Amino acid sequence: MQLRLFHLSMKPNNNKKNGKNSSFDPQVFLDTAGISRKIAEYRRGESVFAQGDAADSVMYVQQGGVKFSVVNGSGKEAVVAMFGPSDFFGEGCMAGQAVRMGTATAITPTTILVMEKNELLRVLHSQHELSDHFIRYMLAHNIRVEEDLVDQLFNSSEKRLARTLLLLARYGKQDQPIRILPKVSQETLASMVGTTRSRVNFFMNKFRKLGFIEYNGKIKVNKSLLTVVLHE
């Protein structure tokens, strides 16, 4: 049983959100500094690290997508975040977390740059562009997590599902009123929204009847209609 996705930070395929700096790649900075780093490839479903593993490296997604989930004592699972190209994850070890707080799993074929935490810390001092990118990522990540918290606190599961669908829709084709979502099961949606599958099923059918979404396998979202749900 899964519970809740804290936030979606998987980005659309444009790295050009900063105007300049569109082709930022930490690897070149690590190369010039002669830093220990390696590139790892994962297949769909493969685990990058598991909850409880020793933590001494920071990951940087070059290609693909990764979900980060936490399991509690009762076996419930919550999808805490999803990461895409140019996202860092596993950076908690830099603040002294000795073990991984959750499990990172590739959801598509994924290429990851693995950096030893102490060396990354050191390089951040000398490589301003890397440092800027890292800080910017951290700030954005913070904002995202806090937004998810606010969503969780203020809104019902119906609204949270609507919001989650709209967030997922960002990764479909851009600038179209109707977006096709990446393939996700209702079970996964439940873990993203923070509710049960039966609840997700109920609302999905409700949204469908109202014409806010349609699906036969691929989920299609009518953004403007679904947005109405968010405003009561």
Partner DNA sequence: AATTGACTGTTCTCTTTTGCACATTCTTAG
Partner DNA sequence: CTAAGAATGTGCAAAAGAGAACAGTCAATT
Footprint on this chain of DNA (rule: CB under 7 A): 1, 156-158, 185-187, 194-199, 201-202, 204-205, 216-217
Between residue 4 and residue 43, which ones bind a copy of itself under the rule CB under 8 A? 4, 6
As measured in angstroms, the least distance from the Cβ of 149 to a copy of itself is 5
As measured in angstroms, the least distance from the Cβ of 212 to a copy of itself is 20
From 140, 166, 180, 184, residue interacting with a copy of itself (rule: CB under 8 A): 140
x/- track of binding to a copy of itself for residues 80-119 (CB under 8 A): x----------xx-xx-x---x------------------
From residue 112, how far is each of 13, 83, 153 by CA, in Å?
Answer: 16, 11, 33
H or E element, residue 114: strand 110-116
Cβ closest to DNA, residue 111 vs residue 196 = 196
Cβ atoms of 199 and 180 closer than 8 Å: no
Give the distance, in angstroms, between the CA of residue 229 and the centroid of all CA atoms in the same chain: 23
Environment class of 175 (CB within 10 Å of its CB; exposed 0-12, middle 13-18, buried 19+): exposed
Cβ closest to DNA, residue 51 vs residue 201 = 201
Q: Tokens representing 171?
A: 């990764």
Cβ atoms of 165 and 221 closer than 8 Å: yes
As measured in angstroms, the least distance from the Cβ of 106 to a copy of itself is 21
